[in-house]
Amino acid sequence: MFNKIGIFGKYSGIQSWDLIDKLILYFQKKQKKVILDQRSCADFPIERYGIERLERDALMKEIDFAVVVGGDGTFLDVARCIVDYNIPILGVNLGRLGFLADVSPDTMMVTLDEVLADDYTCEERTLLHVLIKKDGETLFDEVAFNDVVLHKNDSPRMIEFETFVDNRFLNSQRSDGLIIATPTGSTAYSLSAGGPIVDPGLNAMTLVSINPHTMSNRPVVVSGDSEILIRPHDNCSGTASIICDGQVTFQIEAKHETYVTRHPNFIKMVHPKNHDHYELLRAKLNWGQKL
């Protein structure tokens, strides 16, 4: 049973306020403690509700259930922060049904009734851990829910790099970059680049090249227990970046080594009891339409 609820909003602000208002009143009626996230709800008028607003690190230590109001981008941001706290998370989508924030405002109250009655489904999703090192020194340490992307900066030139899997040389390529995706991220940027759709319950990572120079280059699926190493060639300095979930960026140089592994902890995603991932795929990708 969840008793301490953390609510996270959309950074652009006011369009999520109406739903946050409904959530606060709903949980207060259910005698639950409600705390807002300072980072995403800084301007929300909390005075009328008599609730707290905490910085994210402090908030994570106080709650046992997280509700994210926004889109998949908002969900990704919160997921990276919450993964080490073992807190279940549910996403309410402000717009169209999302892959991550998969509860619509119209069904939000019914879903929450089911959640508080312990009548829901919960699944574990994997994240990626990325380290960037130079001469043995760690320069960048982040997590990603969807993907870790090596991408060229604003330049017409391709970048050159080598990829290793568990210390075994995979390939050397010239391309616009490389997407290393979780099963969750297989329906994000990876899908647009021609990568496979991977069942979110699988322990796997996909490696998908972005506009490779050779036609023989194909997506590769490896074990989720693998370690991926990316080494840029000498001419890569200042021309490429590592990007986590499209939100956190680090510019790499020739002597930087990027290591990507599965994060040791999981995201606990809460869904309505009738949640069906394949039904969501059909809805988002327009599959199953009559010909």
Q: Does residue 113 have a known ligand-binding role?
A: no
Q: Does residue 191 have a known ligand-binding role?
A: yes
Could you tell me if residue 135 is left (phi over 0), alpha (psi between -120 and 50 degrees) or otherwise beta?
A: left
Beta bridge partners of 290: none
Q: Does residue 107 have a known ligand-binding role?
A: no
- Lookup: tokens for 208: 């998908």
Strand bridging mode 52-54 / 33-37: parallel
Residue type, 287: W
> Do 36 and 45 touch, CB atoms closer than 8 A?
no
Q: Does residue 16 have a known ligand-binding role?
A: no
Q: Does residue 120 have a known ligand-binding role?
A: no
- Rounded Cα distance between 90 and 92, Å, is 7
Task: Confirm whether 64 is a catalytic residue.
Answer: no
> Do 259 and 133 touch, CB atoms closer than 8 A?
yes
Q: What does DSSP assign to residue 103? A: B
Q: Does residue 247 have a known ligand-binding role?
A: yes
Q: Does residue 176 have a known ligand-binding role?
A: yes
> Do 285 and 162 touch, CB atoms closer than 8 A?
no
Helices (H), the chain: 17-29, 56-60, 72-82, 108-116, 189-192, 277-285
Q: Does residue 172 have a known ligand-binding role?
A: no
Catalytic residue among 72, 77, 102, 245: 72
| Residue listed under structure tokens 């809460």 | 270
> Do 61 and 85 touch, CB atoms closer than 8 A?
yes
Catalytic positions = 72
As annotated, the binding site includes 72-73, 146-147, 157, 174, 176, 187-192, 247
Binding-site residue set for NAD(+): 72-73, 146-147, 157, 174, 176, 187-192, 247
